[in-house]
Amino acid sequence: MAGKDVAKHGRGDRLIKERIHDPYMARTKLPEPSICPDCKAVFGTGRWQWMTELPTEANEQLCPACRRIRDRVPAGFLTLGGSFFKEHREEIVNLIHNKVDSEKRQHPMKRIMAMEEQEDKLVITFTDIHLPRGVGEAIERAYEGSLDLHYEPEASIVRVTWER
């Protein structure tokens, strides 16, 4: 490779994979204030937030969570199963709702999309990639069991499974 200028051409033996970002997050800054016509979250000071008083003059823009719900494209999955889950289903589901409600109060983009029964399991889909892990860890702290996390960086999706 004599005579090749590595500074100009780079090294051919290194492949740099570009990180895939969440396609539901805005690529450009939204005009402030913007309000989601579905959930009434307000984009202001660079983030989506709940406001007690909605701005009178605001642009309408569907928030990322409402877009995911409308498109039925979850950012995360939590699958619950096992005999212990069957016996304690109601209290575990209450724990999940409490955890999600607590997160949603501070972060409007963290929501449950759907809860679906599949054979002997419950599959919950979420609008946020971090929420399934947080809910799974809360269940594991409260009830022990086996928690498995699988993050798919190329798809920006997390799959969490808890069983006991």
* DSSP annotation string for 26-82: -SSPPPSSEE-TTT--EEETTEEE--SS--SS-EE---HHHHHHHHT--SEEEEEES
Same domain, 55 and 81: no
Report which residue type is found at 91.
E
Same domain, 80 and 59: no
Same domain, 31 and 83: no
Same domain, 32 and 110: no
Same domain, 32 and 84: no
Same domain, 51 and 81: no
Same domain, 39 and 96: no
Q: Is 97 part of any domain?
A: yes
Q: Is 154 part of any domain?
A: yes
What angle (nearest 5°) sits at the alpha carbon of residue 67, between those of residues 63 and 69?
120
| 117 strand-pairing partners | 122
Chain length of the chain:
164
Residues 45-71, mean pLDDT to the nearest whole number: 93
- Residue 31: pLDDT band by 50, 70, 90 thresholds? confident
Residues 153-164, mean pLDDT to the nearest whole number: 88
Q: What is the mean pLDDT of the chain?
A: 88
Q: Is 102 part of any domain?
A: yes
pLDDT one-digit tens code per residue, 83-99: 999 999 999 999 999 99
- Determine contact, residues 124/133, Cβ cutoff 8 Å: no
Same domain, 59 and 130: no
Q: Total structural domains in the chain?
A: 2
Same domain, 141 and 83: yes
Expressed as residue numbers, the domain containing 115 is 74-163
Same domain, 46 and 101: no
- Determine contact, residues 52/59, Cβ cutoff 8 Å: no
- Residue 126: pLDDT band by 50, 70, 90 thresholds? very high
